[in-house]
Amino acid sequence: MVLSASDHVLPPLGNKMPDGVIIGARGANGQFAEKSPINDWYVAALATAYPGLIPVQPHYRAAQGLLGLKTAVEKAMAANGGKKPNSEEMAAAMVGIEWDAPPGHIKLALGDGHQAIQSNAAGRTKWDPDAKMVRLVDIEHFAAECVNPPPGIKSADWIAQGFPGAKCD
């Protein structure tokens, strides 16, 4: 069985999730996040604030969005002498920005700099009786440029053409 965007169902399903199910998460979120100082900080902060919480995709998306907004505000303020940016300045500052977040590096690279891309991952489920949780094993990571079409190519066309321009390891 393959569940392409289902890391968020693992905590509530617990030992009812069969071993060996291939799982994805719409990005390298949760157990798919690669080790980094920002991810380590984020997981520790969540554990302190919410004991027992297993961070999954929605938690990572929230942090990713807030850090993207912070990046855009800082860019807009730098461009206008440190003043609070208005809506137009914010919109302009967001085009093509990049930032680091707990799930990795995020880039507004598609849609003329308005659509984000990020790395992705997939793995298999394995119940961990000691931790009393589903672990993801045999995780494979994919670069953002491997799982997203290059600018100017629609996803369906990119797939039909055999993934031209994909940058995979």
Q: Which CATH number belongs to the domain containing residue 143 in this structure?
A: 3.40.50
3-state secondary structure 37-93: HHHHHHHHHHHHHCCCCCCCHHHHHHHHHHHHHHHHHHHHHHHCCCCCCCHHHHHHH
Q: 116 - beta bridge partners?
A: 108
pLDDT for position 169 = 77
Q: How far is it, in rounded angstroms, from Cα 28 to Cα 96?
A: 20
The residues near 169 (Cβ < 8 Å, ≥ 6 apart) are: 143, 146
Q: Note whether residue 167 is domain-resident.
A: no
The helix-helix angle for 87-94 and 57-79 (nearest 10°) equals: 110
Q: Note whether residue 113 is domain-resident.
A: yes
Q: Note whether residue 165 is domain-resident.
A: no
Chunk the chain into consecutive blocks of 10 residues (it has 169) and report each block's average pLDDT, rounded to whole numbers.
Answer: 94 96 94 95 96 94 96 96 95 97 96 94 97 96 95 94 93
Q: How far is it, in rounded angstroms, from Cα 57 to Cα 9?
A: 10
Q: Are 133 and 10 in contact (CB under 8 A)?
A: yes
Nearest to 139 by CA among 32, 21, 6: 32
Report the domain count for the chain. 1
Q: Note whether residue 77 is domain-resident.
A: yes
Q: Note whether residue 166 is domain-resident.
A: no
Domain that holds residue 7: 2-160
Q: Note whether residue 63 is domain-resident.
A: yes
| DSSP element (H, E) containing 23 | strand 22-24
Q: Note whether residue 169 is domain-resident.
A: no
